Amino acid sequence: MSKITFICGIAAGPLFVLSFLIQGAVRNGYDPLRHPVSSLALGDHGWAQSATFLVAGALTTVFAAGLRRNLRPGPGTPWGPSLVGMWALGLVGAGLFTADPVSGYPAGSPDLLPAYGSTQAALHDAASLVAFVAILGACVVFARRFAADNRRGWALYSTATAVVVLVTLGLSNAAFAQSPDLVALGGLFQRIMIVAAWAWLTLLARDIHGHSERSELR
């Protein structure tokens, strides 16, 4: 794996997470425990989160292309990189289209619109769903691959990440749909999901790069 591909794979996740953490901490009226990351793209400084989606998506696209070229044949060889690429494209879509207000942010907006306020919001949600389903699928595909290679630690980690993404995706969606018992923690559930997904992908990039370098030394 080339150095540029490796850097892109390593940098995308930390950049994305650091960006939304900083934005969420300084944005007036924004509650990171309650509100989704996508809501940071609304308002006067929304360009920052939109740019974060686009940059992280572009970096991950480079990584996915490198992954396809460098991943040795085995279980999930075509599907793993493709799913990582779908995650990247979902991020780009989420950056190109902004979501509707939800859970009372920005201030003065309703908790939940009765229908999509625009086609743009519907496209944002569709892109986001594609991204999360894709990264969940990538975790499953690589778990199978690692199990076949008898790398049990990575197989278990990949499986656990898939479970975390699935569970927190369901919880955050219910919260943003204004479930009374969950709505106050929708942002937290989503952040757990996002951090878990990015951590897995970042460590995967590091692991595959390390194996690639060791192979070149032989």
pLDDT of residue 212: 60
Helix (H) / strand (E) containing 89: helix 79-96
Q: Please compute the mean of the pLDDT values over residues 22-48 and round it to a whole number.
A: 96
Q: Give me the pLDDT at residue 218, please.
A: 35
* Residue 73: band (very low, low, confident or very high) from pLDDT cuts 50, 70, 90: confident
| Cβ within 8 Å of residue 172, ≥6 positions away | 36, 186, 187, 189, 190, 193
Sequence spans of domains, the chain: 3-213
